[in-house]
Amino acid sequence: MSREVVIEVDDLRMRYGTTEVLRGVTFRAHRGEVLAMLGPNGAGKTTTIEILEGFRTRSGGRVDVLGADPARGGEAWRARVGIVLQSWRDHGKWRVGELLAHLGSYYPRPWDPAELITAVGLAEHAGRKVRTLSGGQRRRLDVAIGMVGRPELLFLDEPTTGFDPEARREFHELVLGLSRTEGTTIMLTTHDLAEAEKLADRIVILDGGRIVADGTASELAERIAGEDEVAWTLGGRRHVRSTRDATRFVRALFEEHGDAVEALAVRPSSLEDTYLSLVRRAEETV
């Protein structure tokens, strides 16, 4: 991952009437980085993303995306940005392959349509009309449309909604490949915390219009010092205990009970545990 800054946001503010939606948001994203933005509904994620995409004018602060202010980004700038929205666009009369070839013709270095269709798992449906696709297949097409111009920066808003487990795994591999081999910077918003933990190089958590955490999943977990869950069976009875030091707890357990301890399992503190703790703390300080 390069240290070249692709997104730079300083003291971003957004006000609707007397309601302040964003209150001094500051963060950066680098070339080739996968950055996940998490937060509860109403935290300001959508507003932030729309400002970065150039679809909404901010009230204050500085925003630089690919060397330009998104509010004044022209066609050349937009050709370098890919966007995958939550809802699909209605291109019902087009055939999948024809649609991607047509949209790709507007870009200077598009993906090969056949290669892109395969990458998003639609190879068997390239000749079908969009209106005949299932909801999950349409979602895959959404992703392909966002990627067709081979963007330097890709915004993914809940990208795997409607994907089955196999398609989700393949899409995750595609995202990681884009960032590692193409140097694509990816900004991801998702409610799937396991997805964020798997894909993101860095995570920012937005709550109440402010950034309440910024770091890798492991850095955030260390900051919260989340508790691990230890489960075991003793004398046919199942036990579960939460602890901040699973190693010490398990050692003491075996020192006391030895081989009588069975079915031992340790579940480390997850991103979900960390996220909930951070959001809860932020709400308590409001």
Domain ranges of the chain: 5-220, 226-285
- pLDDT at position 285 over 70: no
Question: What span, in angstroms and rounded, lies between the C-alpha atoms of 96 and 93?
Answer: 9
- pLDDT at position 48 over 90: yes
pLDDT band for position 161 (cuts 50, 70, 90): confident
Residue 245: count other Cβ atoms within 10 Å of its Cβ.
12
Which pLDDT belongs to residue 5?
Answer: 94
pLDDT band for position 120 (cuts 50, 70, 90): confident
CATH number for the domain whose boundaries are 5-220: 3.40.50.300
Rounded average pLDDT over 128-145: 85
Quote helix, strand, coil % in the chain, to nearest 5.
40, 30, 30
Which pLDDT belongs to residue 92?
Answer: 76
Nearest residue to 185 (alpha-carbon basis) of 1, 37, 31: 31
| Residue bearing the bigger pLDDT, 155 or 164 | 155
Question: What span, in angstroms and rounded, lies between the C-alpha atoms of 237 and 90?
Answer: 56
Query: Which of 52-61, 82-91, 233-242 comes out lowest in average pLDDT?
Result: 82-91
Which pLDDT belongs to residue 180?
Answer: 87
Q: For residue 150, what are the CA distances in angstroms to 70, 71, 83, 97, 166?
A: 19, 22, 11, 16, 24
Question: What span, in angstroms and rounded, lies between the C-alpha atoms of 17 and 51?
Answer: 17
Q: What is the DSSP string of 196-258?
A: HHHH-SEEEEEETTEEEEEE-HHHHHHHHTPPEEEEEEETTEEEEEEES-HHHHHHHHHHHHG
Residues 6+ positions from 234 with CB-CB distance below 8 Å: 257, 260, 261, 262
Which pLDDT belongs to residue 223?
Answer: 66
- pLDDT at position 280 over 70: no
Which pLDDT belongs to residue 201?
Answer: 94
Which pLDDT belongs to residue 228?
Answer: 79
Q: pLDDT, tens digit, for every residue of 256-269?
A: 999 999 999 998 76
pLDDT band for position 82 (cuts 50, 70, 90): very high
Q: Mean pLDDT highest for which of 7-16, 34-43, 125-134?
A: 7-16
Which pLDDT belongs to residue 230?
Answer: 92
Which pLDDT belongs to residue 284?
Answer: 53
Which pLDDT belongs to residue 216?
Answer: 87
